[in-house]
Amino acid sequence: MNHGSIKESLIKKWSRDLVVALMYLHRMDIAHRDIKCDNILLTAKYNVKLADFGFARYTRDHQGSPLFASTDCGSLNYTAPEVLLGIPYNPKIADIWSLGVVIFIMLNGSFPFVAKDVTSLYREQIARDFKFTQTANKNASSHLLNVIRMLLEPVYHERMTLEDILHSEWIGVPKGLTGLTSLEEAAQSRIHTSMKRS
């Protein structure tokens, strides 16, 4: 945020990388639970890496049944409204909200919601009380603005999925493709194989 907004071509590239990373985690039944700008690293070649898995947890038990989370963790301004309610929530869907906050920050250079306390923050989120800057409204594509709106959807079951983002008009990966490069697919395959053996 110290450097203001980022040009859309970079936002798209980094968002795609983050979506692919989160899709991989979620397919492994792991939720990150602390998606925020501070936990996204930039390599020398301008690729992004997701870091700090201190709050990560499995989302299925040994029988394959879904495990909901109930703890409020992560950073407040990135926290999904269902987490603020203090009731059991799907941590994968909460990760997607936090991703929406990150993408908003890349475009706007500021948080979508800033409040002094949890109650005020929750009210802002439910009211969808966020605004794009004049520059963002003028320069960003309508596809990007729509993706952000659908990620910052307070009704969790209406929130955009990771697959929706990847195949949206904004990122534009054709349906049926994973969005992974051949190297990423090979790495995923190796990890899956080694996990099956252990």
Q: Is residue 1 part of a domain?
A: no
* CATH value at residue 37: 1.10.510.10
Is 158 contained in some domain? yes
3-class DSSP state of 9? helix
Look at the chain and report how many structural domains it folds into: 1
Query: Which has the minimum average pLDDT: 43-52, 83-92, 134-143, 184-193?
Result: 184-193
- The residue type of 157 is H
- What residue type is 128 in one-letter code? R
Domain presence at residue 125: yes
pLDDT in tens, 135-152: 999 999 999 999 999 999
Task: Enter the DSSP assignment of 38.
Answer: G
- What pTM, to 2 d.p., does this model score? 0.87
Cβ–Cβ < 8 Å for 8, 141:
yes
Domain assignment present for residue 181? The answer is yes
| 72 occurs within a structural domain | yes
pLDDT band at 191 (very low <50, low <70, confident <90, very high): low
Residue 110 pLDDT: 94
> To 10 degrees, the CA torsion angle through 77, 80, 1, 45?
140
Spell out the residues 6+ positions from residue 89 whose beta carbon is closer than 8 angstroms to its own.
68, 69, 70, 80, 82, 83, 156
Within-domain flag for 34? yes
For residue 69, what are the domain limits?
Answer: 8-197
- Sequence-ordered list of residues with C-beta below 8 angstroms from that of 133, at least 6 positions apart, any chain: 5, 108, 109, 110
Pairwise pLDDT comparison (196 vs 21), residue with the higher score: 21
Determine the residue type at 126. Answer: I
- Cα–Cα distance for residue pair 193/166, rounded to 1 Å: 25
Least confident of 1-5, 13-17, 32-36: 1-5
Annotated active-site residue in 34, 95, 117, 129:
34
Per-residue model confidence (pLDDT) at position 63: 86
Do 99 and 123 touch, CB atoms closer than 8 A? Answer: no
pLDDT of 174 strictly over 80: no
Q: Three-state DSSP class for 66?
A: strand
In a domain, 3, yes or no: no
Question: Is residue 34 among the annotated active site residues?
Answer: yes
Does 196 score more than 60 pLDDT? no
Query: Per residue, what are the HEC states of 105-137?
Result: HHHHCCCCCCCCCHHHHHHHHHCCCCCCCHHHH
